[in-house]
Structure 1
């Protein structure tokens, strides 16, 4: 039976063994020590609409004995609001859990089976929970900056703090973020460390790495949210 991994979360773990990607290389990690307003253009008091086709979440997960899988998840839509002092004041975006896929295995070499397993009740149960949402409550003004909010995944909502950098190019707001989440906080316990720690082979780390690459277009007066 193939071994699989799950979705994820971000700051890349040292010593993680990356399987060679045959579809799309993962994005480079974000340097959170850089200023969050990289372009120097202020966002101001604005509303921003997510550009789903230009946005993506990348995930990595590992076995506790080494090795693992990686892939991508798409987004359906969302908005952000920015205010004075370069703060993100609110927002919400929707993640398309049925779009989850691996990028390290060809379809004919186990990739399709892995993708289906990720959508099963062992992991994200996308038949019952086709979307996940992140509701933004605000951000800090410090460097590195953090977005705070609640991630609702597989019917469970948990608070989440996401370190991020951002910059504005004309009327496009670009947000990049790295984070690591504990999947068991959202009830994703398949082959987790606490359950099968006595059987090391096949145990999947509870920690999942995520890289977010999000683009938003500035909304004009009269546009709907």
Structure 2
């Protein structure tokens, strides 16, 4: 009986040590920044989108998981000024042709696997959900003391965003919008 008690105590100590080394670091949404670039045949547009919330999980100082939720209604255009088409483009990006933010107010990325690549750099495979569609994405994430950064390319057509895509509309000509857009992500925690 005494051996069973000793084993149980050792197990509790081992589990509490494992639990103690796992740490969730909440993302500071107000200090984090996501910028986007969407390109078309005749140029490009860029802007920002806000982080709603999220967490990065560490174990023994190494990244092991995480998730980030983005506020799709916050999408804004930074390369145009008010009265120069800024409001029109922002409205179109929020419309059903693009992100349908009235129906889908958030997008989310959930880490599925994290592998150390080099000091402070991890290769992350995650599920990205935009609108009603979830697809896997892989990217490198650089983690500092209180930040994590990445540049991620997303093929919008995989998420049923086909407006202006030459992949779907052959005769669109110079009005074509490229399928991939770029996200530059700077998460602060």
Please indicate the TM-score interval, normalised by the length of the shorter structure: 0.7 to 0.9
**2:140 aligns with one of 160, 163, 166:** 163
Q: Compute the displacement of 1:75 (Å).
A: 1.0
1:102 to 69, 72, 77: 77
Consecutive unaligned residues in structure 1, runs of 5 or more: 1-43, 217-225
Partner of 2:94: 119
Q: Which residue of 2 aligns with 1:128?
A: 103
The CA deviation at 1:209 is 0.8
TM-score, length basis structure 2: 0.84
Asked if 1 retains the 8 angstrom alpha-carbon contact of 2:42 and 2:175, the reply is no
Deviations along 1:89-138, whole A, 9 cap, x unmatched?
12222100000011000021110111011000000000000001111123
Matched, 1:66 2:35: no
Deviation of 1:199 after TM superposition, in Å, equals: 2.7
Tell whether the 8 Å contact from 1:193 to 1:203 is kept in structure 2 after alignment: yes
CA contact (8 A) 1:88 1:147 kept: no
Deviation at 1:202, TM superposition (A): 0.7
Name the structure where helix makes up a greater proportion of residues: 2
Structure 2: runs of 5+ lacking an equivalent: 1-20
| Alpha carbons 1:182, 1:206 under 8 Å: kept | yes
For each residue in 1:115-164, what CA deviation from the matched residue of structure 2 results, as whole angstroms up to 9, or x when unmatched?
A: 01100000000000000111112311113521221011101001111212
Q: Does residue 91 of structure 2 align to residue 89 of structure 1?
A: no
Contact 1:150 1:158 in 2 (8 A): yes
Alignment partner of 1:189 is 2:165:
no
Larger Rg: 2
Count of equivalent residues: 167
Give CA-to-partner distance per residue, 1:20-66, whole Å, 9 cap, x none: xxxxxxxxxxxxxxxxxxxxxxxx63210010000111110111x23
Question: CA–CA distance in 1 between the matches of 2:143 and 2:42?
Answer: 33
RMSD (CA atoms): 1.4
Bigger strand share: 2
Runs of 4+ in 1 over 6 A off after TM superposition: none
Alignment of 1:13-24 (within 5 A): none
Q: Of residues 147, 162, 171 in structure 2, which corresponds to 1:174?
A: 147
Q: Which of residues 113, 116, 119 is equivalent to 1:141? A: 116
